[in-house]
């Protein structure tokens, strides 16, 4: 007697129960240097929306290549414009879905606690050989990862690259380079200011001159032939005041015009 009723009952339960409604989902590929700020933003966005956000962090070059190979990301946030340009040239960005989100600074950090000297500008007179004291300078990959590319350009501009080239230890992303300095595996590292701010085991020796490397920009874009509504909502949130406060607290410069 009851058997014919069960399918109808289950159907009604599916319609009436909000807990059984599947939330929208988006996958965000983002540069490693954004992890701390974006983890906080992700939590706040999910709490204010019906969207579940999955974050994947790595070097911008690694993420861009995965996108080129068909990775199903909905949003890409790169640590420089070159890798975003490459994705755009491949026709993988949704129309009118790209803008510059953030800026950053490049700094030299040392292991251990110490006075934050981010206001001191690094000059060619700095003696990196003495500061390294036989150790290595941790950097992201200088030919592929934005932080490493910026660092190589800055050291070359200051005529310091040749003095440290054989003492550079390269890593897949800037957070890995930071971790080496924080652990004391290397005495110095070249990282973003936002990275240095998250670690209590490093201190800033100085900031590289802004004109020693290309401007540090973080472009963001929605991917695919058409932007998902959930991706559009997340991009709008990234431009909003709540996200801007989090980015600023983490050492970034906000570039996108805030959404009201």
185-228 pLDDT, tens digit per residue, is 999 999 999 999 989 999 999 999 999 999 999 999 999 999 99
8-23 pLDDT, tens digit per residue, is 333 434 444 444 445 7
Same-domain status, 174 and 78: no
Same-domain status, 147 and 198: yes
Same-domain status, 111 and 201: yes
> Is there a domain that residue 3 lies in?
no
Beta strands in the chain (DSSP E): 24-31, 51-58, 75-77, 93-103, 106-111, 137-140, 168-171, 188-192, 202-207, 217-223, 253-254
- Domain final position from 195, 212, 229: 212
Same-domain status, 227 and 192: no
pLDDT of residue 60: 93
Same-domain status, 110 and 205: yes
Range of the domain at 166: 106-212
Total domains, the chain: 2
pLDDT of residue 90: 96
Distance CA 248, CA 250 (A): 5
Q: Which is it for the CA torsion 85, 90, 96, 101, positive or negative?
A: negative
Mean pLDDT check: name the lowest of 16-30, 72-86, 141-155.
16-30
> Is there a domain that residue 6 lies in?
no
pLDDT band at 257 (very low <50, low <70, confident <90, very high): low
Same-domain status, 61 and 97: yes
Q: Residue 1: which residues within 8 A CB-CB, separation 6 or more?
A: none
115-124 pLDDT, tens digit per residue, is 889 999 999 9
Q: Phi/psi zone of residue 60: left (φ > 0), alpha (ψ -120 to 50 degrees), beta? A: alpha
The tokens describing 88, both together, are 């755009």
Same-domain status, 129 and 194: yes
Written as one string, the DSSP assignment of 8-22 is HHHHHHHHH-GGGSP
pTM of the model: 0.81
pLDDT of residue 258: 53
pLDDT of residue 115: 86
Same-domain status, 43 and 116: no
Same-domain status, 41 and 54: yes
Distances (CA, A) of 238 to 156, 158, 221, 245, 253: 34, 35, 11, 10, 13
Tell me the mean pLDDT in the region 92-119: 94
Q: What is the CATH number of the domain that holds 30?
A: 3.40.190.10
């Amino acid at each position: 007697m009851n058997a014919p009723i069960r399918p109808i009952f289950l159907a009604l339960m599916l319609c009436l129960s909000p807990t059984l409604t599947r939330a929208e989902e988006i996958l965000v590929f983002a540069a490693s240097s954004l992890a701390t700020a974006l983890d906080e933003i992700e939590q706040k966005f999910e709490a204010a929306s019906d969207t579940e956000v999955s974050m994947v962090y790595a070097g911008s070059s690694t993420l861009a290549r995965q996108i080129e190979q068909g990775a199903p990301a909905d949003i890409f946030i790169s640590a420089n414009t070159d890798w975003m340009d490459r994705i755009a040239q491949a026709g993988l960005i949704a129309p009118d879905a790209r803008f510059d989100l953030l800026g950053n600074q490049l700094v030299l950090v040392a292991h251990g606690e110490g006075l934050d000297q981010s206001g001191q500008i690094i000059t060619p007179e700095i003696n990196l050989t003495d500061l390294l004291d036989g150790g290595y300078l941790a950097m992201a990959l200088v030919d592929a990862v934005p932080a490493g590319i910026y660092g190589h350009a800055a050291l070359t501009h200051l005529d310091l690259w040749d003095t440290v080239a054989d003492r550079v230890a390269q890593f897949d992303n800037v957070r890995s380079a930071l971790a080496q300095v924080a652990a004391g595996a290397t005495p110095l590292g070249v990282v973003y200011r936002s990275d240095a701010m998250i670690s209590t085991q490093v201190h800033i020796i100085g900031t590289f001159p802004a004109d020693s490397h290309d401007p540090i920009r973080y472009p963001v874009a929605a991917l695919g032939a058409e932007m998902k509504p959930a991706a559009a909502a997340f991009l709008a949130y990234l431009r909003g005041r709540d996200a801007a406060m989090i980015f600023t607290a983490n050492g970034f410069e906000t570039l996108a015009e805030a959404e009201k």
